[in-house]
Amino acid sequence: MPGRSSDRFASRAEKELRRELLVSPVPELGLVAANGPNDPDPELVVEGGVVTRLDGRAAAEFDVIDRFLVAHGLDLGIAVEAMGRSDLAIARMLVDVDVPREELVRLARGLTPAKLARVVGLLDPVELMFALKKLRARRAPGNQAHVTNLKESPALLAADAAEASRVSVSEMSVVLAKLFAKRMSPPVGP
């Protein structure tokens, strides 16, 4: 019936929550979690122990992150074997209780970012959660938190930190707003 809506819908439309925008994926602009049409194809070329191509880029075009990754991230000793596995095979290993974490960590060190993205893109949210749990390095993860306050009082920060550790936050960083504010607004304010 056009022009009519129930009070239930009318009152719901007034709620603050309704002003939030839901952003739909726009894959062609790169606004997508996985499997974007512009994502590069996985690629790794090693010549004489040096990476000459990575995910569609030649060494001369490497940006700072590519360079860092090639120098410090990729394990070239495992890369040929790891890159030789199919996306689907690795994705299935991630959700296979019979494949130990160690084996996945070993292989992951030889995978390029594009290859990792392809693998992860094959998993649905429940599978991702399973994989995440399986890949945890710790048996019992500790709670992590930032402690900060805008007043920058060392005593207050210490008290906040002590209180956080009392409520079982086992890992904590204390952040000062003056340092933090240069790049983003402080996360918490009194």
Partner 1 sequence: MAFDPATDYPLGARRPDLVETPSGVPLEEVTLAAARAGTLTAADVRATPVTLRRQAAVARAAGRAQLADNLERAAELASVPDDELLEIYTALRPGRSSAAQLEERAARLDELDAAKTAAFVREAAAAYRERGLLAG
Cα 88–Cα 94–Cα 99 angle in degrees, nearest 5: 110
How far, in Å, CA of 30 to CA of 41, rounded? Answer: 15
Kindly state whether residue 136 participates in binding partner 1, applying the rule CB under 8 A. Answer: no
Closer of 45 and 68 to partner 1 (Cβ): 68
Q: Which of 13, 64, 126, 140 binds partner 1 (CB under 8 A)?
A: 64
- The order of strands in the sheet holding 44-47 is 44-47, 50-54, 57-58
Q: What is the dihedral of CA 55, 56, 59, 65, to 10 degrees?
A: -50
Kindly state whether residue 14 participates in binding partner 1, applying the rule CB under 8 A. Answer: no
Kindly state whether residue 155 participates in binding partner 1, applying the rule CB under 8 A. Answer: no
Q: Which stretch binds partner 1 (CB under 8 A): 24-32, 64-72, 91-99, 120-128?
A: 64-72
Q: Which stretch binds partner 1 (CB under 8 A): 20-28, 70-78, 88-96, 152-160?
A: 70-78
Closest CA to 147 of 165, 159, 161, 163: 161
Q: Which of 45, 105, 132, 188 binds partner 1 (CB under 8 A)?
A: 105
Q: Which of 19, 72, 133, 166 binds partner 1 (CB under 8 A)?
A: 72
Q: Which stretch binds partner 1 (CB under 8 A): 42-50, 84-92, 102-110, 161-169?
A: 102-110
How far, in Å, CA of 41 to CA of 26, rounded? Answer: 19
Please give the DSSP secondary-structure letter assigned to residue 146: E
| C-beta of residue 128 within 8 angstroms of C-beta of residue 120 | yes
Q: Which residues contact partner 1 (rule: CB under 8 A)? A: 63-64, 67-68, 71-73, 75, 102, 105-106
